[in-house]
Structure 1
Amino acid sequence: MNEITVQELKEKIDRGEDFQLIDVREDFEYQTSNIGGQHIPLGGILIETDKLYTDKPVVVMCRSGKRSAAAIMQLEQQGFTNLYNLKGGILAWQAEIDPSIQVY
């Protein structure tokens, strides 16, 4: 499974690279804190595959990286090959990039 660090994600954002960010956390988690990704909870990821790009990198994130890894494993079984797991999730983002973001 491909992974990307929060530093690498921040660089992609700062450079204005063309990619998709998917947040697979639950609604209340996304409402508490998010970094602007498209919200598709893990439970609905296979139902909403039509919302995922196939022609550009897709970074999948959650709280710590475990649910996003589960989402990627499910999506790879559906044929997706352009997925990257955000290592450490929003917890790593808060610890290394933006300490002002609220985590739980």
Structure 2
Amino acid sequence: MIDQVRPADLPAWLQAHAGGDAPPIVLDVREPWEVQTASVAPAGFELRHIPMSLVPVRLHELDPARPVACLCHHGGRSQRVALYLAQQGFQQLANVAGGIDAWSREVDPGVPRY
């Protein structure tokens, strides 16, 4: 099962899953133009950008031992990527429910909405 975490609750999820040698990852699976339009500032996590279509070929860039919270525009693509990662053996997974749009509304209104 994939945890569904609202942006406002993400720091608590990240802290609950921290403790390894490296910080948790927020995996932004949006397209490059979307990341250029609106992005989040890393705070207590490592931010990685791998577009959804490239996750299978770039899977080696992710460590299954690290917690991963997937992020997209509204939460649909990130949910699919989280399910794919679960099939690949990742166990500490979350979907950022509502995506970057909810992030802008709940956490940082300075993040542009599109």
Question: What TM-score does the superposition give when structure 2 sets the normalisation length?
Answer: 0.80
> Percent identity, aligned pairs only?
33
Distance (whole Å) between structure 2 residues aligned to residue 38 and residue 91 of structure 1: 18
How far off is 1:47 after superposition?
1.0
Matched, 1:50 2:55: no
**8 A contact 2:5–2:13 mirrored in 1:** no
Alignment correspondent of 1:20: 25
Unaligned stretches of 5+ residues in structure 1: none
CA distance change for structure 1 residues 5 and 33 in 2, over 3 Å: closer, same or farther? same
Alignment correspondent of 1:92: 102
Pairing partner for 1:30 from 30, 35, 51? 35
- Larger mean CA deviation between 50-59 and 5-14 belongs to 5-14
Question: 1:73 aligns to what SS in structure 2?
Answer: helix
Alignment correspondent of 1:4: 5
Alignment correspondent of 2:49: 39
Aligned residues: 102
**8 A contact 1:57–1:82 mirrored in 2:** yes
CA distance change for structure 1 residues 7 and 25 in 2, over 3 Å: closer, same or farther? same
**8 A contact 1:25–1:40 mirrored in 2:** yes
CA distance change for structure 1 residues 102 and 13 in 2, over 3 Å: closer, same or farther? farther
Unaligned stretches of 5+ residues in structure 2: 42-46
Q: Which runs of 4+ in 1 moved over 4 A?
A: 11-14
How far off is 1:12 after superposition?
6.1
| Cα RMSD (Å) | 1.8
